[in-house]
Chain A
């Protein structure tokens, strides 16, 4: 496929949509749809001035702190639970129940227990993002080939070395799948917690603009949240390609 064709496919529909939007807003006035130029103007004026430091950065740091903690806790606890059978039996039903709770309903409780602050939001993110990672780690660890396990034991790898060189690498494709699921969840909870109980953050201002019926400003918040979502997924895919390069290669070979 030529480069021209590729760019055509890539940009074709987005450009058409953009053109339709521009033409529509210049011929008709719809109260709910701002003009592209106005939206871009508001977007940069609102989010890339003082609010970048006072709202955008706090939102992002809560998101990343929550995600980072979930990944560490999820993998550590998941590896132990997956590796030791009686611990797995002890916790699995309880975890299945807690995981089934739609996490946004926990916001009122966390408000009572922790109050309106950053740690409440980070707790909420961790509390819901940890499950996909944890349960996927458990599934990955329990499905390791028994021959590999025994081989590792026979050649005298210590428990720590077995974790480091056998268990975690073998489970990593499933761990990555879990992290991918929790990315979307983390963003949802960041936004909802800021909309429901916050005095700063992107979510707080977006709902605030809506209450003041500032349409273009509200859309600029939605646009920013969309850009964050897309960036997060692109960065993760790049990461996954690097970390799981060996796995993709293995799969290709098997398919030959």
Chain B
């Protein structure tokens, strides 16, 4: 890169400028190109505009949504199910994981059961959730917790398997009691694994919350989309899709932020390689 001590040639300077501004410029260009393509598809009627309205109509609807109480209530419902689902499954996964992980017999005995139950797609349980809870938040929570519990549990088990025997023995030699060992040895080893699980669980939970709302009709963004479809309002459907995408990005950045803050001491963050 440009080193001020050496008088850089114009070409080298241009190159370093390109390295700095290129990603942002081209990234913006990519978005604009996508919007342009979308506009063209609807202006030239390649796709029926009733099915694919022009971007302007969609963004108008997107902005208008912010003035409606219904929209905020629906977003609130989706986020509440998401948050409760992630919190409950994390707590449950952590407790069960630590109990199973602390005993080799338990790890071996539960292995086959966990490996069998884990790949069962949570959405397959939607019918039974609908039957048990109806169109209420319980349905969403049951599906989200079923999916996210396994994700967290597996990560906790990996984390415990990764515990350093020497560190544990050292802690014992230093006469640390159990709470201290948990605080200074087990927890720091576990945390990076837990964070990976949490990030994955957060994404999955949002997809599942919206799926359940769509199929069972629990209140939330998924249900709003189903309503928009019944009303035949294409701009409303597209606007909600953009909303959900932004929500997804917000959740992603939130999880990355939490990860950076809690793991500031860990190699993966200190090394500058954001995981």
Contacts and interface: CB of A to CB of B under 8 A. Distances in A.
B52 to A, nearest CB: 7
Contact of B110 (A13, A86, A91, A233): A13
B121 interface: yes
A108 interface: yes
B211 A94 contact: no
Given A86-B26, A195-B215, 5 more contacts: A101-B248, A112-B52, A192-B214, A213-B131, A232-B119
Interface centre among B122, B130, B222, B248 (most CB of A within 10 A): B248
B45 interface: no
Contact of B240 (A92, A105, A226): A105
Contacts of B206: 102
Interface string B50-84: 01100000000000000000000000000000000
Given A32-B131, A188-B207, A108 B228 contact: yes
Interface of B: 22-23, 26-31, 33-34, 47, 51-52, 108-113, 116, 119-128, 130-132, 206-207, 209-211, 214-215, 221-222, 225-226, 228-229, 234, 237-238, 240-241, 244-246, 248-249, 252
B205 to A, nearest CB: 10
A225 B126 CA distance: 12
Contacts of B27: 89-90, 92-94
A168 interface: no
A230 B207 contact: no
B123 A109 contact: no
A221 B124 contact: yes
A98 B120 contact: no
Nearest to A11: B112
Nearest to A227: B120
A195 to B, nearest CB: 5
Dominant secondary structure of chain A at its interface with chain B: helix
A106 interface: yes
A116 interface: no
B267 to A, nearest CB: 16
Nearest to B126: A195
A233 B119 contact: yes
Nearest to A195: B215
Interface centre among A13, A100, A206 (most CB of B within 10 A): A100
B217 to A, nearest CB: 11
A210 interface: yes
Contacts of A226: 119-121, 124
Interface centre among A13, A104, A111 (most CB of B within 10 A): A104
B225 A210 contact: no
